[in-house]
Chains A and B, each alone.
Chain A
């Protein structure tokens, strides 16, 4: 595919409100997985909740008061100057929004739940999936197409893929995209019921891993078809390719052979016109569940061998569900910018069944040109995206 330009981006999660804070925390080995949760009282497993979350929306947007919108607002704040630059150049009708979420405003429904009967709840502004995109549309003033993509934990990646299509088909000149999710009782208790959570800080790819930790956050990107004049550092990078597949196996468990993951990564390489040896880093889905990590490692090994440096960054602030691919794609861009690959954090010993090369401590490299990000989801939905340094 024709590479798509990244004009600006940001990410936030329990590690910080900006991608610089998040990435610095990762490089210093800081983890934000709390055993005492304010959102999920009595939670037996650590969570990566965003503490001291603070965002004041413009008065016209106060009805969008869910935690999900608050996280989006925090993530958007550093991007507003880029939004203003865009709106000064392009017609508003050529500027679109495609955003991913898995749980939308579930946390807000729980907070307002009235067991005795009906409750006064603004469904259309707080929980309908479409309202996540609508909030960003109203916040930016963009008046082009805007919609929400919801494919569970790969939501942000599928939203970014749709954004690429809107650009390459000529429907939009720029698209605000990415993903978000907020922690909620429903997702926490649901994953707990599936018995795939670790009661310790999670340990992706370690022999002792027991499952995932949940977190919350957002990653947002402004993508343009053409390089935007005067872009900041982000303007050097492109979304170079993507691939997607279905597992056709099970609603929650991955295909043990990693066949669907292999298909998605192969399609991403083909889309970017790359050979496997040209990828310099893989940000793994790496949830920390025994099944996911083994299947993903198997697929990565079959396609890339054992030499490409890989890490999961879910050990820092948890699995961000619909926001995961957004934050991890932003981490990939920081890897391209700084030449530093973050470590695959998590205590434990090497799993003898896993043959890929895990980054054990943050490592500098002089030449990182292409990085790949994996995101997989319930329903066997697999996505891979490749980011690179622009050749223009």
Chain B
């Protein structure tokens, strides 16, 4: 697989409104006072525009913008949005209205309910006409967005951005999936490794492994007598908030590694699902 340089980073998290502030804190943020984010209004996100958006949309456009800041020709970078549950709160509110006495659906809420709403708003806010797609795969959502991005780089794309996140699920009567206990959205801009990005972190491999035995063998191979920092995101002590679940935990762990100035060398991120499938992401910093 072609390696990818990480040339842009963005983040919105309770207690960290940007990746910049997260990095200043060395990727160490205490348990959040509130699990939800209040993205401040700005010239980019005026109050009137912000009011029309879900928190996921607000977080996604903010993180996407931060990660592109300072990059040449930002209008040409395709976007892959990843979200396990997307506009689940919006859909829940629509159902409450629709199945309740009102029997009415708000047009604004309806068009905001599509999974790619954040990508649409991003394009409208910036005037950028680059391609975008939206991926969903439960607890592997970030991993599949990354695999999709790496496949595109391998196939000739020069740069690509992944923005992945979910907002805390909060609609009453809703099915309440057990994950997504807090708001989080992160973003990475990747560039095909052509030696022009300078001294930047690199993703050197992304592997999906269906067979647990094969996976154990691979992990042994990758770590045996090699100075590799292993971050198994299924282990609570590797998480930023050990008690709180989030479907894009791997991305948060990756961003935490990027924010920790003391952490250098090779990092192996491991995430497993309940079917015994595993993603292995190798990063060099």
> Which residues in A have some Cβ–Cβ distance to B below 8 Å?
1, 92-93, 102, 106, 109-110, 113-115, 117-119, 121-124, 127-131, 133-134, 143-152, 158, 161-162, 165-166, 168-171, 185-186, 189-194, 243-252, 259-260, 263, 267, 377-381
**Which 8 pairs, one residue from A and one from B, show the smallest C-beta to C-beta distance?**
A379-B120, A190-B110, A150-B115, A244-B131, A129-B136, A246-B123, A123-B175, A169-B154
Q: Please give me the residue from chain B that is nearest to A165 by CB atom.
A: B151
A110 and B99: CB pair below 8 A?
Answer: yes
| Known pairs A118-B173, A145-B208, A152-B115; A246 contacts B132 (CB<8 A) | yes
- 11 interchain pairs, CB-CB under 8 A: A1-B155, A110-B95, A147-B135, A148-B136, A151-B115, A161-B133, A165-B154, A243-B131, A260-B129, A378-B120, A380-B120
Which of B28-36, B138-146, B221-229 sits within the interface? B138-146
- Please indicate the chain A residues that have their CB under 8 angstroms from the CB of B210 in the complex: 92-93, 143-144
A248 and B124: CB pair below 8 A?
Answer: yes
Q: Please give me the residue from chain B that is nearest to A170 by CB atom.
A: B154
**Bound CA–CA A346/B130 (angstroms):** 34
- Please indicate the chain B residues that have their CB under 8 angstroms from the CB of A146 in the complex: 137
Choose from A102, A145, A250 the contact partner of B147 (Cβ within 8 Å).
A145
**Bound CA–CA A134/B150 (angstroms):** 22
Report whether over half of chain A's contact residues are helix, strand or loop; otherwise say mixed.
mixed
A166 and B151: CB pair below 8 A?
Answer: yes
B91 and A106: CB pair below 8 A?
Answer: yes
A248 and B128: CB pair below 8 A?
Answer: yes
B155 and A246: CB pair below 8 A?
Answer: no
Which residue of B120, B127, B147 has the most chain A CB atoms within 10 A of its CB atom?
A: B120
- Please indicate the chain A residues that have their CB under 8 angstroms from the CB of B134 in the complex: 149-151, 158
B114 and A102: CB pair below 8 A?
Answer: yes
Within 8 A of A (CB), among B165-208: 173, 175-177, 208
**Bound CA–CA A252/B114 (angstroms):** 11
B150 and A169: CB pair below 8 A?
Answer: yes
**Bound CA–CA A217/B99 (angstroms):** 24
| Known pairs A150-B115, A381-B120; A186 contacts B138 (CB<8 A) | no
**Bound CA–CA A243/B116 (angstroms):** 18
State the Cβ distance, A13 to closest chain B Cβ, in Å. Answer: 21
Choose from A149, A186, A192, A260 the contact partner of B91 (Cβ within 8 Å).
A186
Which residue of B84, B114, B155 has the most chain A CB atoms within 10 A of its CB atom?
A: B114
Given A129-B137, A244-B132, A246-B131, output 7 extra A-B contacts at Cβ < 8 Å.
A110-B99, A130-B141, A147-B136, A168-B154, A171-B147, A190-B107, A251-B111
B114 and A152: CB pair below 8 A?
Answer: yes
- Please indicate the chain B residues that have their CB under 8 angstroms from the CB of A169 in the complex: 1, 150-152, 154-155
Within 8 A of A (CB), among B32-66: none
Q: Please give me the residue from chain B that is nearest to A152 by CB atom.
A: B114
A130 and B138: CB pair below 8 A?
Answer: yes
**Bound CA–CA A375/B92 (angstroms):** 27
Q: Please give me the residue from chain B that is nearest to A145 by CB atom.
A: B208
B98 and A186: CB pair below 8 A?
Answer: yes
Judged by a CB distance under 8 angstroms, whether B86 is at the interface is yes
B137 and A152: CB pair below 8 A?
Answer: no
> Which residues in B have some Cβ–Cβ distance to A below 8 Å?
1, 78, 84-86, 91, 94-95, 98-100, 103-107, 110-117, 119-121, 123-124, 126-138, 140-141, 144, 147-148, 150-152, 154-155, 173, 175-177, 208-211, 277
State the Cβ distance, A117 to closest chain B Cβ, in Å. Answer: 6
Q: Please give me the residue from chain B that is nearest to A259 by CB atom.
A: B129
**Bound CA–CA A93/B105 (angstroms):** 43
Choose from B105, B128, B211 the contact partner of A193 (Cβ within 8 Å).
B105
State the Cβ distance, A162 to closest chain B Cβ, in Å. Answer: 5
State the Cβ distance, A115 to closest chain B Cβ, in Å. Answer: 6
| Known pairs A106-B91, A189-B105, A248-B127; A115 contacts B114 (CB<8 A) | no
B177 and A123: CB pair below 8 A?
Answer: yes
**Bound CA–CA A237/B136 (angstroms):** 29
**Bound CA–CA A121/B92 (angstroms):** 13
- Please indicate the chain B residues that have their CB under 8 angstroms from the CB of A168 in the complex: 151, 154-155
| Known pairs A190-B113, A379-B114, A379-B119; A149 contacts B95 (CB<8 A) | no
Which residue of B131, B138, B277 has the most chain A CB atoms within 10 A of its CB atom?
A: B131
A251 and B86: CB pair below 8 A?
Answer: no
A130 and B120: CB pair below 8 A?
Answer: no
A171 and B120: CB pair below 8 A?
Answer: no
- Please indicate the chain A residues that have their CB under 8 angstroms from the CB of B154 in the complex: 165, 168-170
State the Cβ distance, A43 to closest chain B Cβ, in Å. Answer: 13
B98 and A185: CB pair below 8 A?
Answer: yes
State the Cβ distance, A317 to closest chain B Cβ, in Å. Answer: 22
State the Cβ distance, B48 to closest chain A Cβ, in Å. Answer: 15
- Please indicate the chain B residues that have their CB under 8 angstroms from the CB of A247 in the complex: 123, 129
B120 and A127: CB pair below 8 A?
Answer: no
B136 and A379: CB pair below 8 A?
Answer: no
State the Cβ distance, B152 to closest chain A Cβ, in Å. Answer: 5
- Please indicate the chain B residues that have their CB under 8 angstroms from the CB of A93 in the complex: 209-211
**Bound CA–CA A100/B28 (angstroms):** 37
Q: Please give me the residue from chain A that is nearest to B206 by CB atom.
A: A171
Choose from A166, A170, A244 the contact partner of B133 (Cβ within 8 Å).
A244
- Please indicate the chain B residues that have their CB under 8 angstroms from the CB of A171 in the complex: 147, 151
- Please indicate the chain A residues that have their CB under 8 angstroms from the CB of B140 in the complex: 130, 147
State the Cβ distance, A385 to closest chain B Cβ, in Å. Answer: 13
A144 and B208: CB pair below 8 A?
Answer: yes
**Bound CA–CA A127/B85 (angstroms):** 9
**Bound CA–CA A214/B155 (angstroms):** 36
- Please indicate the chain A residues that have their CB under 8 angstroms from the CB of B136 in the complex: 128-130, 147-150
| Known pairs A251-B121, A260-B129; A127 contacts B99 (CB<8 A) | no
| Known pairs A162-B148, A169-B150, A193-B106; A380 contacts B133 (CB<8 A) | no
State the Cβ distance, B217 to closest chain A Cβ, in Å. Answer: 14
- Please indicate the chain B residues that have their CB under 8 angstroms from the CB of A122 in the complex: 175
